[in-house]
Amino acid sequence: MALRNIILSDNEIIRKKSKAVSQFDAPLWQLLDDMYDTMVQNNGCGIAAVQVGVLKRVVIVEANGLKLELINPEIIAKKGKQVGMEGCLSVKNTNGKVERPYEITVKAFDRYGNAMTLTVCDFTAVAVCHELDHLDGILFIDKIVE
């Protein structure tokens, strides 16, 4: 188990756009394992690589008993709307309501480079949208509706 430091929102790295992963190799698996340990240690339900200072399009979400590792993820379909409370490991002591799609279909790769397409809804969709925003330097505080 290896913990990495969480990058906070006052660090300019958090606003940078992450780059696509091209190598599905041991350093990527180490990054994923470290991100997961760091997320769990900090009681998070999602984490993006940029949050540990790595500008790669890699996210982990764990919600409703489902652990997702998404590499180079892309939302290819959205349905409905929901507004829910969000927080972020990189934004201390702040929560706010954000509008997200109710259901999304995501195309991504797993840690071995296998392509997958999955549809998630409800809180899992919120968590995936939140983490995908991180890959483009967007924080939930940019989208708070109340």
Q: Which of 17, 31, 14, 21 is nearest to 73 (CA)?
A: 21
In the complex, minimum distance from the CB of residue 143 to Co ion, in angstroms, rounded to a whole number: 12
Q: Is 131 a catalytic residue?
A: yes
In the complex, minimum distance from the CB of residue 74 to Co ion, in angstroms, rounded to a whole number: 18
Give how far Cα 65 sits from Cα of 16, 109, 136, Å. 30, 20, 27
In the complex, minimum distance from the CB of residue 119 to Co ion, in angstroms, rounded to a whole number: 22
- Toward Co ion, which CB reaches closer, 10 or 23? 10
- Toward Co ion, which CB reaches closer, 4 or 113? 4
Structure tokens belonging to residue 3:
């913990």
Residues lying near Co ion in the complex (CB under 5 A) are found at: 88
Q: Which of 134, 44, 31, 145 is nearest to 92 (CA)?
A: 44
**Which one of 62, 69, 86, 131 is the catalytic residue?**
131
| Catalytic residue numbers, as ranges | 131
